[in-house]
Amino acid sequence: MEELKAKRDDVHQKMEIAEQRSGLQRTEEVRLWLQNVMKIEQKLILCGLCSKSLRSSYRYGELVCTMSKEIANLKAKGASFERVAGPATTDTMEKKPLEPNMAKTQH
């Protein structure tokens, strides 16, 4: 999990630099990957807090084993990003002429 957190921090830092310096926008793939990492972190934290009894500790152990596969997949996916940001998308907006200021036209 520590390696995944380190990869998350690296990807996030690269993304921040690309967004701030170059005006690029994070890719959807990176956005989704970061969300998935955060979900796994939250699951592990919540389950760890619930593991007071032997039974819940056992379930927590099973969950960790299952999630270790997800963590490995996320680590591999994070290592394969060709880019973390791309050109910013511009939303097309309809231009409307401004109406003359009514206060100025009335005397």
Instruction: Identify which has the larger pLDDT, 75 or 54.
Output: 75
Lowest-pLDDT range of 17-21, 61-65, 95-99:
95-99
pLDDT for 92: 46
Reduced to 3 states (helix: H, G, I; strand: E, B; else coil), residue 55 is: helix
pLDDT for 93: 47
Q: Under a CB-based contact definition with an 8 Å cutoff, are residues 79 and 9 in contact?
A: no
Residue 103 confidence class, pLDDT cut points 50, 70, 90: low
From the number of C-beta atoms within 10 Å of its C-beta (0-12, 13-18, 19+), residue 9 rates as exposed
Helices and strands, counts by H and E, the chain: 4, 2
Q: For residues 107 and 105, what is the distance between their CA atoms, to the nearest angstrom?
A: 6
- Percent of the chain predicted with pLDDT > 90: 1
Q: Supply angle C-alpha 68, 39, 52, rounded to 5.
A: 70
